[in-house]
Amino acid sequence: MIYSLNGTIIHTEPNFVVIECGGVGYKCLTTMNTMSKLPKTGEKAMVYTHMIVREDAVELCGFADTGELNCFRLLTTISGVGAKVAIAILSVLTPEQIAVAVSSGDSKTLTKANGVGNKLAQRIILEMKDKVKNIVPSGTIDLSSGNGTAVIPAAGGNIEKAVGALAVLGYSPDEVMPYMSGIDPSLPVERIIGETLKAIGKK
């Protein structure tokens, strides 16, 4: 399994990038969001990869960060969502936006992606919610800090929604809760997600 590529960009097109590593050019299918974060042709770049092995082909998909990679992997476990559709979704929506859409049941947002109709969007929401339920416990979310403990009601709380969203990105509640202790729970969900990821990145 190829986990990542670190080399020079030698070619790009709207749906893929070619990165040369050790004299070998690796074609990586990728999203428009990742393409917007990559440097220009001729410059160094690093992407996290996912390998797809089929009877007739072996393909690499490349992503700018592990959050997008984890979201791609989760999307492709859903019935009817292959690599092409997952990349289309992640080309128009960030992992954070997908997670918020799932937690709020907003199927219309998911239909912005090519190849995603209302029926598939509803299936994505249903199956992703089921997966997140297995990660995020119901009840109350206990956020501990050095100054004490803050207990946030789970039902309808933005903190709970952010925990669920971060679960979609591959982070467990135990990983993210310590970073949420100082965050205002009245902030919008996407803001809470962003602040948490920023805090995790500084560790």
- 13 by Cβ neighbours in 10 Å (0-12 / 13-18 / 19+) ranks as exposed
Picking from 197, 155, 194, the residue whose alpha carbon sits closest to that of residue 175 is 197
110 lies in which domain range?
A: 66-133
Residue after which a domain boundary falls, among 37, 63, 89: 63
The predicted pLDDT at position 131 comes to 65
159 and 109 in one domain?
Answer: no
The whole-number mean pLDDT for each consecutive block of 10 residues of the chain, a chain of 203 residues, reads 92 94 95 95 96 89 88 90 95 87 87 95 87 49 40 57 77 85 85 83 65
The predicted pLDDT at position 150 comes to 38
Q: Which two tokens stand for residue 195?
A: 């602040």
- Number of domains composing the chain: 3
Give the list of residues 6+ apart from residue 62 with CB closer than 8 angstroms, or none.
5, 17, 19, 28, 29, 30, 34, 47, 48, 49
- Residue 170 Cα distances to 74, 96, 178, angstroms: 9, 12, 16
The predicted pLDDT at position 203 comes to 61
The predicted pLDDT at position 136 comes to 47
The predicted pLDDT at position 130 comes to 73
The predicted pLDDT at position 23 comes to 94
CATH code where residue 93 lies: 1.10.150.20
Q: Which two tokens stand for residue 116?
A: 């995603």
Q: Please work out, in degrees rounded to the nearest 5, the angle formed at the alpha carbon of residue 122 by the alpha carbons of 96 and 101.
A: 20
